Amino acid sequence: MIKLPFDYQDPYTRRVFLQRTSGCLGMAAMSQLLGERALASSVTHFAPKAKRVIYLHMSGGPSQLETFDPKPKLVQWNGKPLPDSVRGKQRITTMTRNQSALNVMASEHTFKQHGQTGITMNVLFQHLGGIADEMCMIRSLHTEPINHDPAVTFLQTGSSLAGRPSMGSWLSYGLGSANENLPTFVVLLSGGGGQPVPSRYWNNGFLPSRHQGVKFQSAGDPVLFLSNPEGMRHVNRGRTIDRISALNRLKQAQVGDPEIEARIDAFQLAYRMQTSVPELMDISQESKKTLEAYGVEEGKPSFGANCLLARRLAESGVSFVQLYDRGWDHHDGITRAINGKIHSVDQASSALIRDLKERGMLDETLVIWGGEFGRTTYAQTRSANFGRDHHPRCFSMWMAGGGVKPGVIHGATDAFGYNVAENGVHVHDLQATIMHLLGIDHKKLTYRFKGRDFRLTDVHGRVVESLLA
């Protein structure tokens, strides 16, 4: 890769440089500066173990104590104040800060071990237990923000402040596209209620706009305005885009703005998607056996339908598919509420892993399942039906396929499920490890913005080698 002595985002400096160079150097510089897609195909720093990511984000923060990290000792402490020695000086949210007491609440759920490793999970996970030997279970994740929006922003962008590129955008920038007729980064939403999921979670930030995630709709046009207006033929739409692109190229030649190039790409991609996306989103092409495996009812949006679409997108060359499932923010009635949420994602999450494996795709597809933080050991008492408050100091997440070590449990929390006890994994470590599995050195994939080289992991992060197969 050519290192230029100036900031390559300056279109005027860049244009002058290209005008004054010729031959191989000029072509190489042009390839780097204006042919970003060609650059993206060679940005990997070593052989990747994964080619794509399917990220199942449980929006709201699933309780580790009701899912994958049971704590039998809490039964003895049920209703008693959480010891000061356990809590230490950790901050808590304003929602529980004024409670008269922070009393321990034991889980009312039953747990069972699965697989050769004995990964323990809530018995309500009737399907996930069957793929336990494919899981790489992390019980020692920890993060910094204590509220939802900054925590999701931190997990997705490496910063709790909005405005930086999301993980999917970084990987789009680094990996490029395997299918010119589809976006590199696609987002799907399911579930209802709970915390909002704003579009800036999949924003490109300061990266070129072609790397922004594209949200697919559950009903109507898969992508807004994908269908032609009434009276507009497809061929005429193509001619219109060609004329618009010609005008944009004239302006690009005048000012050298890289966003104009991205806009040209966006128009052309949208036109190609008119033929590629409707067929891709038509799950009626799937066998009855596959639809039943995912628990999908044709024509009915659901988490299961999105998991099936994620497999179809990955199979078609989309590099990063992000599913947001809302409704995991259980401040009230967690015992009952967690039942419904587990039931809604259990079968499809398992079916996705099985389906990928049967198609020979799991080894090259990294599947991630988890939320933005965990929940407190003590009860939140804003109603008679106790819930749990936000807890960033420890939470669980699992991965499968894509070069991670299968059938393992990494890290541990203390007997109260309140602090990391062994082998902690910071969110920046998780990000660095994900990028490593895709063949990217997280310290080297950077983008210069306002005089500084930015990266997903900021100035932190380490690859967790023990998670790698």
Cα of 134 vs its chain's centroid, Å: 19
Q: Which domains does the chain have, with CATH numbers?
A: 51-221+292-467 (3.40.720.10)
Quick one: pLDDT band at residue 202, thresholds 50, 70, 90?
very high
- The amino acid occupying position 80 is K
- Per-residue pLDDT tens over the stretch 93-137: 999 988 989 999 999 999 999 999 999 999 999 999 999 999 999
Query: How is 45-114 classified by DSSP, letter by letter?
Result: SS--S-SEEEEEEETT---TTTTT---TTHHHHTTSBPPHHHHTT----TTTTT-S--BB------EEEE
Give me the pLDDT at residue 20, please. 38
Distance, in Å, from the CA atom of 279 to the CA atom of 28, rounded to the nearest integer, reads 38
Distance, in Å, from the CA atom of 469 to the CA atom of 465, rounded to the nearest integer, reads 9
Q: Which of 2-6, 375-379, 408-412 has the lowest mean pLDDT?
A: 2-6
Question: What SS3 class is residue 229?
Answer: coil
Query: pTM for the whole thing?
Result: 0.86
Give me the pLDDT at residue 446, please. 96
Distance, in Å, from the CA atom of 102 to the CA atom of 97, rounded to the nearest integer, reads 9
Distance, in Å, from the CA atom of 101 to the CA atom of 112, rounded to the nearest integer, reads 31
Strand partners, 324: 57, 189
Give me the pLDDT at residue 439, please. 97
Give me the pLDDT at residue 21, please. 40
Overall average pLDDT of the 410-437 stretch = 98
Overall average pLDDT of the 281-306 stretch = 92
Quick one: pLDDT band at residue 1, thresholds 50, 70, 90?
very low
Determine the straight-line distance between the first and last CA of the chain, rounded to whole angstroms. 30
Overall average pLDDT of the 212-240 stretch = 70
Helices then strands (H, E): number in the chain?
13, 17
Quick one: pLDDT band at residue 316, thresholds 50, 70, 90?
very high
Of all residues in the chain, the percent with pLDDT exceeding 70 is 84
The tokens 């009635």 sit on which residue? 333
Distance, in Å, from the CA atom of 395 to the CA atom of 434, rounded to the nearest integer, reads 18
CB 400 within 8 A of CB 434: no
Give me the pLDDT at residue 224, please. 57
